[in-house]
């Protein structure tokens, strides 16, 4: 493991839990791969000359083995989920730029697999149905656990939806 000192605001993001104001993509990614624990806060007045910010010491211990997921795909999905962390996932995944990206990935995958896409295919409907069936349509990224993000990625993958950043 490693014991490191960071600017307090950064350390707060590393250790943030679902629902915390500092919970973000960084929190999810770090906690997916490691156990992060706050050890102590160090006030700026403890240093000479004093810096402009407080610090915090954290312990980071890697999880062995790391989860068996494609990290590029994981990061691609999280990037979309945290576009607007306070919005419901259904609203995020209905954004035109998001559906365009998902559709391009879907077409690319179908092309690689020599799979024909039906004329009446609607990526927005597939995404919405997947979110609703998996129970994530009304969820917000800011309050989802790592296990929920893993379940969401699995649901999307089962529906043939893949993410690449």
Q: Residue 58's beta-bridge partner residues?
A: 4, 38
The CATH architecture that domain 71-158 belongs to is: Orthogonal Bundle (1.10)
Identify the band that residue 61 occupies on the pLDDT scale cut at 50, 70 and 90: very high
Mean pLDDT of 15-36: 97
For a pLDDT cut of 70, what percent of the chain falls above it? 99
- pLDDT band for 115, please (50, 70, 90 cuts): confident
Contacts of residue 47, Cβ cutoff 8 Å, sequence gap at least 6: none
Instruction: Report residue 144's pLDDT band, with 50, 70 and 90 as the boundaries.
Output: very high
Give the helix/strand (H/E) hosting 129: helix 123-134
Mean of pLDDT values over 53-79: 95
- How far is Cα 22 from Cα 139, in angstroms, rounded to an integer? 17
CB 88 within 8 A of CB 138: yes
- Position 165 scores a pLDDT of 54
| pLDDT exceeds 90 at position 116 | no
Q: Dihedral (C-alpha) 49, 52, 57, 63: value to the nearest 10 degrees?
A: -130
- Give me the architecture of the 2-62 domain, per CATH: 3-Layer(aba) Sandwich (3.40)
Q: Residue 79 and residue 26: Cα distance in Å, rounded?
A: 10
Domain parsing of the chain, residue ranges: 2-62, 71-158
The rounded mean pLDDT for the chain is: 94
36-53 pLDDT, tens digit per residue, is 999 999 999 999 999 999
């Amino acid at each position: 493991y490693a014991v490191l000192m960071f600017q307090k605001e950064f350390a707060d993001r590393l250790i943030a839990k679902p629902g915390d104001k500092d919970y973000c993509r960084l929190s999810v990614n770090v906690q997916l791969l490691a156990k992060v624990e706050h050890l102590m806060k160090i006030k700026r007045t403890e240093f000479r000359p004093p810096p402009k910010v407080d610090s915090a010491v954290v312990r980071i211990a890697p999880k062995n083995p790391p989860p068996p997921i494609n990290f590029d795909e994981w990061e691609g999905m999280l990037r979309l989920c945290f576009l607007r962390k306070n919005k419901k996932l259904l609203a995020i995944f209905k954004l035109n730029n998001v559906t365009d990206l998902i559709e391009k990935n879907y077409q690319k995958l179908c092309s690689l697999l020599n799979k024909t896409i039906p004329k009446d295919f609607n990526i927005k409907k597939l995404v919405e149905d997947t979110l609703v069936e998996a129970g994530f349509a009304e969820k917000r990224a800011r309050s989802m656990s790592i296990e929920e993000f893993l379940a969401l990625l699995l649901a999307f993958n089962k529906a043939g939806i893949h993410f690449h950043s």
